[in-house]
């Protein structure tokens, strides 16, 4: 048996991509090898619409499950595959659709306006009034009806940051990204002491104690532009480690330092790292595992996404 090298594996993936008329999407948190072979690298919503723009029959989404679902929601006629179906998300898991539905029924008298962070399942999106991303959450909350209380799901850290920016009180679902809550005040202070001139750039999914230490709090997409435009040369990046791959590729003249957690020198999402080149190859070869959604759920989940896009213009 002839061993398959990484080089020949990449060639085979590219051959299958052409054969299947597919587009390969990679989230910012994917490993370097997957980012380098992808057609587009970005955040989940941006990638879903890159797929819609591409004239492809198959979307190979290298990310976690809710992201592949989002791609399917806005691309119902395309085949969507994910390299590893077990690539889940602690935020998605923290707010199951049936639990949210039961909560809304029990609190029907409050007439909540539900804003869901895009890091949630299609079932939760289908129960929401509007979707937001970390990049547009402030704008979406500011546009929410003033005469209705807001329930923000599922990330309480992003929700609390948005309240700080807008002054708008919201009820927050008690969910969190397990990676971002592992960053601590002490771990960030320690890395700042090692690199006293570095700017700290943190994702809003981090806790308040960490956000207070940051020079900039922003989404992964905005991190690229902020670091590129900053006169600083050194940056401590307080988010999942895969983001450094994109930053190093797109802003090569700057130095990026992974923000350490309370446990290790960098932060890896175990779900994101389930995807590999070998699994991507198999997904394109077999067109499995596929992401499928009941059409009624897909239609209901698409409405709050479209509302977000309208409000974000």
Taking only the tens place, the pLDDT of each residue in 267-291 is 999 999 999 999 999 999 999 999 9
Q: What is the pLDDT of residues 235-271, one digit of tens each?
A: 999 999 999 999 999 999 999 999 999 888 889 999 9
Q: Is the pLDDT assigned to residue 2 strictly greater than 80? A: no
pLDDT number for residue 19:
97
Look up the pTM and report it.
Answer: 0.94
pLDDT digits (tens, 9 = 90+) for 26-57: 999 999 999 999 999 999 888 878 888 888 99
Whole-Å CA distances, 160 to 167, 208, 281: 10, 8, 40
Please give the pLDDT value at position 1: 35
Which residue in the block uniquely carries the two structure tokens 């002491």?
193
For residue 184, which of 242, 238, 225 has the smallest C-alpha distance? 238
Measuring CA to CA, how many Å separate 67 from each of 32, 123, 129, 258?
19, 13, 19, 24
């Amino acid at each position: 048996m002839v061993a398959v090298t990484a080089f020949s594996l990449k060639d085979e993936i590219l051959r299958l991509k052409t054969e299947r008329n597919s587009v390969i999407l990679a989230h910012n948190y994917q490993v370097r090898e997957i980012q380098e072979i992808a057609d587009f690298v970005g955040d989940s919503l941006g990638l879903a619409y890159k797929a819609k723009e591409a004239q492809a029959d198959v979307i190979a989404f290298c990310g976690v499950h809710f992201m592949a679902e989002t791609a399917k929601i806005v691309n119902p006629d395309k085949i969507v595959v994910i390299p590893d179906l077990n690539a889940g998300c602690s935020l998605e898991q923290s707010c199951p659709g049936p639990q949210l539905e039961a909560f809304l029924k029990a609190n029907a008298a409050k007439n909540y306006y539900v804003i869901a962070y895009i890091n949630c399942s299609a079932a939760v999106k289908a129960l929401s009034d509007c979707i937001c991303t970390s990049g547009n959450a402030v704008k979406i909350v500011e546009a929410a009806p003033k005469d209705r209380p807001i329930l923000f799901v599922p990330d309480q850290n992003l929700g609390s940051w948005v309240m700080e920016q807008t002054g708008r009180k919201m009820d927050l679902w008690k969910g969190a990204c397990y990676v971002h809550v592992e960053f601590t005040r002490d771990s960030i202070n320690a890395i700042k002491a090692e690199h006293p001139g570095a700017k700290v750039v943190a994702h809003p999914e981090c806790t308040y104690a960490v956000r207070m230490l940051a020079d900039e709090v922003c989404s992964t997409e905005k991190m690229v532009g902020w670091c590129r435009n900053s006169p600083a040369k050194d940056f401590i990046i307080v988010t999942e480690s895969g983001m450094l791959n994109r930053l190093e590729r797109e802003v090569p003249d700057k130095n990026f330092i992974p923000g350490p957690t309370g446990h290790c020198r960098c932060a890896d999402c175990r779900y994101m790292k389930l995807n590999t080149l070998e699994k991507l190859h198999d997904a394109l070869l077999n067109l499995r595992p596929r992401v499928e959604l009941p059409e009624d759920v897909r239609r209901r989940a698409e409405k709050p996404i479209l509302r977000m896009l309208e409000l974000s213009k």
